[in-house]
Structure 1
């Protein structure tokens, strides 16, 4: 049997992020399939885990008019507060280099889990894309890699419980991004 997990990221996963996600399933009995969902930060609409806090579950329920688009493109725009993966190593931002985010994040996660990682990209509503990916892969869990302040807000707002029910998954985990 297989166990499917969607991993939602807003920016490039660091080595520490990949290690923490892999550790969640290191002792799992079934083969774990990872489905990495990357938000491309569109200039309009919702994007990334931070935006999930302010959006409604109408998006998850499929009432949004903006379907996810799963294609690879490179977006350009002004660089903003780039977090550091480690001393001197900047993490890529999808607005600047979507290809680097996908390449580095999937490579790091593959190295930690010793297997395949499927990648999906959304240019639309992140909640709708998340719901679509969970349904199409029959995923049992969702892991959101979020910045420390975002992770705290997810936990305080009880978002994970609501998301678990709306997405119809056994568990939604929030992993604090390694900064």
Structure 2
């Protein structure tokens, strides 16, 4: 039996991101399978660093099929770039991560390679062009995962913590564990 983990990202995972995700499961006795869910910035309710706040749980629970499904296509989307913070004292600029709105193939290739190298476990990739929370719900159900890890920008993570998003997500997704990690910047 495997321990299935869905990892939701909105930008390419850095090596540090992948190491931190893998470290969460390093001591598991059973093999781990990662299911990487990549958003390609759909046109409504999602986009950029605040992307995961685009939908309320009430909206998601009340939708009846009008939203896009994992792997389906919607029209063009607005592109919002991550915040460009200048390096502080003693900090060096970090590598630029690929943006799915510009180079989705690089996001998929680099992120899955980083996570596979850091963990030593298989990484399956899915793309959502539509409503991220619906895609996440569908992936959790399809994989029977036991855990969801969201890798988000610092502003998104802070907003999630303030709104008790993690508790709401755990209840809605019906998984024992939901974790939130900030992108390694």
Find the aligned partners of 1:100 and 1:127 in 2 and give their Cα distance: 23
| 1:63-119 Cα shifts (integer Å, max 9, x gaps) | 2511324169xx8986834769x7462100001000000000000000011121000
| 1:66 corresponds to 2:67 | yes
| 1:15-49 Cα shifts (integer Å, max 9, x gaps) | 00000000000001211110000000023343467
Which residue of 2 is the match for residue 57 of structure 1? 57
Which residue of 2 is the match for residue 4 of structure 1? 4
The CA deviation at 1:155 is: 1.2
Find the aligned partners of 1:59 and 1:49 in 2 and give their Cα distance: 20
Which residue of 2 is the match for residue 120 of structure 1? 126
RMSD over equivalenced CA pairs, Å: 2.5
Which residue of 2 is the match for residue 161 of structure 1? 167
Which secondary structure state, in structure 2, belongs to the residue aligned with residue 163 of structure 1? helix
Find the aligned partners of 2:120 and 2:166 in 1 and give their Cα distance: 28
1:60 and 1:43, CA in 2 relative to 1: closer, same or farther beyond 3 A? Answer: closer
4+ residue runs of structure 1 moved beyond 6 angstroms? 75-79
Find the aligned partners of 2:145 and 2:55 in 1 and give their Cα distance: 22
Note the residue ranges of structure 2 that are not aligned, 5 or more in a row: 86-91
Which secondary structure state, in structure 1, belongs to the residue aligned with residue 50 of structure 2? helix
- Count of residue pairs the alignment pairs up: 176
| 1:176 corresponds to 2:182 | yes
Aligned match of 2:137 in 113, 131, 134? 131
Note the residue ranges of structure 1 that are not aligned, 5 or more in a row: none
The CA deviation at 1:175 is: 0.5
1:100 and 1:156, CA in 2 relative to 1: closer, same or farther beyond 3 A? Answer: same
| 1:111 corresponds to 2:111 | no
Q: Is the Cα contact below 8 Å between 2:10 and 2:48 reproduced in 1?
A: yes
Q: Is the Cα contact below 8 Å between 2:72 and 2:128 reproduced in 1?
A: yes
1:132 and 1:54, CA in 2 relative to 1: closer, same or farther beyond 3 A? Answer: same
Which residue of 2 is the match for residue 151 of structure 1? 157
